[in-house]
A and B are shown apart, each in its own frame.
Chain A
Amino acid sequence: GEDVEQSLFLSVREGDSSVINCTYTDSSSTYLYWYKQEPGAGLQLLTYIFSNMDMKQDQRLTVLLNKKDKHLSLRIADTQTGDSAIYFCAETGTYKYIFGTGTRLKVLA
Chain B
Amino acid sequence: DVKVTQSSRYLVKRTGEKVFLECVQDMDHENMFWYRQDPGLGLRLIYFSYDVKMKEKGDIPEGYSVSREKKERFSLILESASTNQTSMYLCASSLAGGEHEQFFGPGTRLTVL
**B-contacting residues of A (Cβ < 8 Å)?**
2, 4, 6, 8, 30-31, 33, 40-45, 48, 88, 92-97, 99-102
Q: Confirm or deny: B62 has a beta carbon within 8 angstroms of a beta carbon on chain A.
A: no
Contact residue among A30, A40, A42, A100 (Cβ-Cβ distance under 8 Å from B4): A42
Interface residue count on the B side (C-beta < 8 Å): 25
A95 to B35 CA separation, bound complex (whole angstroms): 14
Interface of A is mostly: loop
Total residue contacts A-B, CB cutoff 8 A: 56
Cβ-based interface call for B45 (8 A): yes
Given A42-B106, A95-B98; 4 other pairs, CB 8 A cutoff: A42-B4, A42-B104, A43-B92, A99-B35
A43, B104: Cβ atoms under 8 Å? yes
B50 contacts across to A, CB distance below 8 A: 95
- B113 is an interface residue with CB less than 8 A from chain A: no
* Interface contact A95-B56, CB-CB below 8 Å: yes
B43–A94 contact, CB under 8 A? Answer: no
